[in-house]
Chain A
Amino acid sequence: MKKVTIHIALKQGVLDPQGQTIQTSLHSLGFTEVEEVRTGKTVELFLEDSADIEARVHEMCDKLLANPVIEDYSLEVEEALRT
């Protein structure tokens, strides 16, 4: 069993209103050193190991999990410590 962690975030240059709002809030709390906040989401997949696991997950990302028009993603594959 493998665990694949996919990080999906808006591309650089694409307006991230949620990130901007968090930044404003951090500033109002006094954390004025924060110059930019970018948000995103994490998707964790637990799946059977296979030789083409990365290619399969890339395909999942391209077809559904990420929108290539506005988002970039990265992924990490590790042994799943799940019972």
Chain B
Amino acid sequence: MKFAVVVFPGSNCDRDMYHVVKDVLQEDAALVWHETGNLENYDAILLPGGFSYGDYLRSGAVAAASDMMSQVKKQAEQGKPVLGVCNGFQVLLEAGLLPGAMLPNKHLAFMCHQEPLEVTNNQTLFTTGYEQGEVVHFPIAHGEGNYYCDDETMAALQANNQIVFTYKQNPNGSAGDIAGIVNEQGNVLGMMPHPERASEAILGSDDGIRLFQSLIKNWRDAYAINV
């Protein structure tokens, strides 16, 4: 499976993503520069964490307006899996690929530590390797991870089972304890915690690796059926 890791100026978790896919999972991966990259020949798109464009204006806003994100939208509409982590999630929200918006953390502090999360939907492309309700440990590292949406959007997210991960001890004030959501089609996942930083036991948790393994397995199963 061939992964594109999109690199914006200011992305800083791009190499972590690349390392997990290439070295830990032994799949094909490439770092794709936002100005010159073409996403058509990749099977999945990863939007890494960091501070795209220095978080100027709003986190993810400038990246969301880039030509690269027009490409990501096009590929997402065709059903290609897209995973946005941390700043990648913020970019997905700003680009309108996922509903809602990010606010500064409730207590304003930048937080960087491991958090327990509950897998609230294990029926997505990204989460079949987890038990429903399983508690996993991923690191968070953000100053603006306070997920916000209006009541109508929240009701829709709940009705469509789009809430994939919730915080057990809500660290940032997120509405509905939301840590990660998918789009209605289920092929775009945005999440603030970092599965790529929890993909090897030496890092303190390898709970994150199953997210990537789920994606690869489900993609292969779908691909095999289509062939």
Contact = CB atoms under 8 A, between A and B. Distances in A.
Interface stretch (A29-37, A48-56, A60-68, A72-80): A60-68
A40 interface: no
A12 to B, nearest CB: 13
A70 B102 CA distance: 8
Contact of A17 (B57, B65, B107, B149): B107
Given A65-B57, A69-B148, A70-B148, A18 B101 contact: no
B173 A15 contact: yes
A67 B58 contact: yes
B141 interface: no
Contacts of B100: 69
A17 B108 contact: yes
B65 A70 contact: no
B106 A21 contact: no
A67 B105 contact: no
Interface string B132-176: 000000000000001011100000000000000000000001000
Interface string B180-193: 00000000000000
B104 interface: yes
A44 to B, nearest CB: 14
Interface of B: 57-58, 61-62, 65, 93-94, 99-101, 103-108, 146, 148-150, 173
Given A67-B61, A69-B148, A70-B101, 15 more contacts: A14-B103, A14-B148, A15-B173, A17-B106, A17-B108, A17-B173, A18-B104, A63-B65, A64-B57, A64-B61, A67-B94, A67-B101, A69-B100, A69-B101, A69-B150
Interface of A: 10, 14-15, 17-18, 21, 63-65, 67, 69-70
22 contacts: A15-B103, A15-B148, A17-B103, A17-B104, A17-B105, A17-B107, A17-B108, A18-B104, A18-B108, A21-B108, A63-B65, A64-B57, A64-B62, A67-B58, A67-B94, A67-B101, A69-B99, A69-B100, A69-B101, A69-B149, A69-B150, A70-B148
